[in-house]
Amino acid sequence: MRFRRTERVPVQNLFVHIPAKVDYGMCALLALAERGEPATAQVLAQSQGLPPNIGAAEHLQDVWVAVRAGLRRVLDTVTLEDVIRGKLPRSVAKLIEDPDAWAPRR
């Protein structure tokens, strides 16, 4: 099934502008969800009649490796004793001192 809007121009009204890149990305995500199995960006683009360069996520693995490294920096330095005593390593305490660390994302 192809997921696409009826027009191939950016949708605009007084409140919202949806760029084609976002529209293409949503079409690809819907197609991926419908497939129920992994697929490359090229396969998704072809199945939806989208430009072949959408969803270029070649550096996404780098982001996940950085996330894992960040978690390790915290988890590898904090012991159960640190948690029980409420005395975290300075590098971890510094992270939680940032008010933005406590702010929810929406």
Residues 73 and 96 in one domain: yes
* Element of type H or E holding 17: strand 17-18
Check whether residue 96 and residue 68 sit in a common domain. yes
Instruction: Identify the domain containing residue 49 by its residue range.
Output: 1-57
Number of structural domains (the chain) is 2
pLDDT tens digits, 74-100: 999 999 999 999 999 999 999 999 999
- In this prediction, residue 44 carries a pLDDT of 83
pLDDT, one tens digit per residue, over 14-65 is 556 778 777 887 888 888 888 888 888 888 888 888 887 767 666 667 887 8
**Total number of residues shown for the chain:** 106
Amino acid at 98: D
pTM metric for this prediction: 0.47
Pair (35, 73) in one structural domain: no
Could you tell me the two tokens for 43?
Answer: 């396969």
